[in-house]
A and B are shown apart, each in its own frame.
Chain A
């Protein structure tokens, strides 16, 4: 049956566009089918690969395997990927054993090849491998990658450098870690988690002290998670800094509350009447953790704060003080003329009673 091509120019144009779109539809369908076919066959291959190699790598965690099958060239990326997955799920000696078998299979050479020739995904696998292997020979190549614009590649390379030699890496990476705001907080946490707790991180602390307020706060937040104890030393300087803003003061108070000392307590007390409720909340939190008998009166005053969160944290702080019992909390409640203070104490007393009985 012949198709009659319309004579009207507009209709004719629409007709040919329609034919074009229908052909596109057919092409898309074929593409989808091919993709699904490739997916199913690659899943099957992956399954076969895992059946062979997973037991070998798992066994190598405890003892060298008796024999290692020959690795096909097409299986290299799969092997590196599996090796990295297992590496990320184990610790200590098991990682060393995995490194040993990895080196015997030559995955360091495979990774170096992929680092230079592979696409983005392959490069990321190669970087992770070199980091896990603590491959010192890869240091210059990884340094170059840190300077790349692509945030995922550069952050992964920075992490690998830290895994290889954290002291050397921190002195070289301190500035990029602070300046590269394109590295997500997740990536920075992953980098700094690799830094040993005893490693000298003064270059990073200097960045916190002298960077712009937003960059300083960002780095502070990460160090709070990874190296909180090291931050205490710079908190007084940060609080006195002309750049100190509400968020950085609140962050400093969070740190002070974790480390009881007379000096930290003195500092925290200075902020209980701060105009910002965000700061008062953290001051109350800090007093709850490191406060002493003298702080009870101030916390009672804070029960009548105009902000609910300050009242709540002050009541919780009172309840946390080791010398304040439920009976004492009831006494304080009975002495309050402010309804909000009574209400918040009623809630916190009930919470304390529940936690005391272990629910």
Chain B
């Protein structure tokens, strides 16, 4: 094989990969549009009933907290005011060293209570269980540090209700978010999990634990993330949910059928991406047994969260996400092309592997190849220009697609200039931000391959 045919073959490989990944994005866009369009047409009168139906399943909200002293009180107050008929809040203090427990005891008048704790899922030792003497539906578990998945397992053990909702301590739920998230469970008894939409709270006006006015952040890094979240939720999750193949439900806001989660062994401690692993595991477990099930996306169930505004924290988050993705797929290889696995096994899993895990490697390899090509003279400067331009053009198109879905359904940012600013962001993110993300994802893969010590990075909070 001559050098030129090797170069040609490599060029064709990159071209085919590029076409394939964009065909997938296009398919997801169409799928998401169809789901959203049909959802909107039927959302005419009273999609959220004024009176509860009696069908709403009671929900246990689990809030794992590790050194969350600064935000935990506001967060619990906002949870206590949710618009839902029956729910309890269980905060799991995972061995915090910053007086999180003291703050909780003082603010909510906690007293130790003799619960007959049922350890169906193994966890680190429980020190005590408290109940609030002011709010009867608020309980706190104080346990030895064991990580987020361990804290969630302890919460599941204590949960009294058939559904549990994992919520991050710094998240702010919209008042009716829980009702919308429970809606798939009311509509279809085979629903085992549902995920809501996460939006960026930076730049929004938040008062007493409630979002009063949505607004775009000033920080460019946060602005890039606003658009990323649009893509991730409106294209990714919504698109995959159309074929029951959603593999990710954010740990910040997801609702699960408790007995099914207990049957699969709960959250996995071996991974740093316990939220994704659980969903992949549920697909694997239920499809293997031929049980009908549904994992749904609730586009109107909104959770607001603060995103990182400094590069270090953002890098930690992205490295962790990528590593979590790799680990989740690695822990459930049996789902890949499983005969009974449906679209999750035949479409979503391969997509995640080829286009979410391998894309960063392919992109970096592509850059190196082009760089080498220019140096050695087998790639022209004109070719480089054209390939960079098409990457940018497609990048903008995908972001605009997500913006389009946002515009037809939610238009959360109401000002004209917001739209123009987001368009500008869709262009600018292609000059550095996307490349940085690719690099971080590569680091995530490297850390997964080398099994380096997994850590929860410390989130720098500006607060609300």
Contacts and interface: CB of A to CB of B under 8 A. Distances in A.
Interface of A: 4, 6, 8, 10-11, 14-15, 17-18, 21-22, 24-25, 28-29, 31-33, 35-37, 39-40, 81, 84-85, 88-89, 119-121, 124-125, 128, 152, 184-186, 189-190, 193, 218, 222, 225, 308, 311-312, 340, 343-344, 346-347, 350, 354, 359
Contacts of A17: 390
B411 A39 contact: yes
B390 A14 contact: yes
A218 B188 CA distance: 10
Contacts of A6: 382-383, 386
Interface of B: 11, 15, 41-42, 44-46, 49-50, 53-55, 113-116, 118, 120, 131, 133, 136, 183, 186-189, 380, 382-383, 386-387, 389-390, 393-394, 396-397, 400-401, 403-404, 407-408, 411, 416, 419, 423
A169 to B, nearest CB: 19
Given A21-B390, A25-B393, A35-B404, 16 more contacts: A8-B380, A14-B387, A25-B396, A28-B404, A29-B423, A32-B407, A33-B419, A39-B407, A184-B186, A184-B188, A186-B53, A190-B53, A218-B189, A346-B114, A347-B116, A359-B133
Q: Chain A at the B interface: mostly helix, strand, loop or mixed?
A: helix
19 contacts: A6-B382, A8-B383, A14-B15, A14-B387, A24-B397, A29-B400, A35-B408, A36-B419, A39-B407, A88-B46, A119-B41, A120-B42, A121-B41, A152-B42, A185-B55, A185-B189, A189-B55, A225-B54, A344-B116
A36 B407 contact: yes
A32 B400 contact: yes
Contacts of A120: 41-42
A318 B426 CA distance: 63
Given A25-B393, A36-B419, A15 B386 contact: yes
A189 B11 contact: no
B116 A185 contact: no
B109 to A, nearest CB: 10
Contacts, number: 127
Nearest to B394: A21
A343 B116 contact: yes
Contacts of A186: 53, 55, 183, 186-187
Instruction: List the 3 closest A-B pairs by CB distance, nearest first.
Output: A184-B187, A21-B393, A343-B116
Nearest to A224: B54
B390 A225 contact: no
A186 B15 CA distance: 48
A88 B45 contact: yes
Given A14-B386, A121-B41, A347-B116, A28 B397 contact: yes
A347 B115 contact: yes
A346 B390 CA distance: 69
Contacts of A4: 382
Given A21-B394, A33-B419, A28 B401 contact: yes
